Structures are given as structure tokens and as C-alpha cells.
Amino acid sequence: MVAGNVHKKAHQNEAVTKVEFLYADFFTPAIVDDPLFVAVKSKKAKDDMCDILIERNIKTGEEKLVFESKYELGNVQCVKANEKWLVWADGDVWGSEVKFYAKNLKNG
């Protein structure tokens, strides 16, 4: 996977981080401290939907695959995260089948 660029600037007494992705499509990013979780369209996707979920270290740009859709024409969406949990939905592109997943970020 290809990392994008990260830009930081001061904005009204807060640090703002701009993250640029080199993916055709991405959807529902969620951030907890440093790791950014986001659904993206993989190179092998057979449609225009985001079919994988990645974890991206904002400081280094390093990325890890967290989840790959279980459907041939998959759609990973509804990514949410807090200090303890990462949750997301995986379904087919028509929305006729959807499964929800949760990952404990504290103990894997």
C-alpha cells in the first residue's frame, strides 16, 4: 500500500493535520490519537466501493491491513473508533447483506 503525505499547521491554537491519500477512493476515516483508521478501495476491487480497512500511522505513513471485505463485491463502511474499540460494517454493494465487526484496540 502507498502512503500519502502529512502536513501540519497551526490553526486557532490547535494543531491541524492534513493527510493526503494516494487511493482512488476512501471513506469514513476515524482517528484515535495517532492511528488513523479508514476504509479504502484496494487495487483488486471489482467496483468503486471501499473494500478494505487500513490502519495508518500518521507520523510515519506506515500502513497495515486491518480487514478485507468478505464479499466479492464488498463495501466496508461506518468506521468508528475510540480509545478501546474499532468498529465497522462489511456488506455487499447492494446493502442486502451487512455484518458488523469490532476490534478491541487495547488487547487485539
Encode pLDDT of 10-66 as tens digits: 445 667 777 777 777 888 889 988 899 999 999 888 888 999 999 999 889 899 999
Higher pLDDT, 84 or 6: 84
Q: What is the pLDDT of residue 5?
A: 47
* Backbone φ and ψ of 4, nearest 5°: -100, -165
Q: What per-residue confidence (pLDDT) applies to 27? A: 82
CA distance 71 to 69: 5
The better pLDDT of the pair 59, 85 is held by 85
Nine cell digits for residue 83 = 480509545
The single-letter code of the amino acid at 72 is E
Locate cell 479504502: which residue?
40
Residue 94 grid cell:
447492494
Burial 71-105 (b: 16+ CB within 10 A, else e): beebbbbbbebeeeebebbbbbbeeeeeeeeebeb
CB 54 within 8 A of CB 65: yes
* pLDDT the model gives residue 69: 97
- Residue 38 confidence (pLDDT): 96
* pLDDT surpasses 80 at 108: no
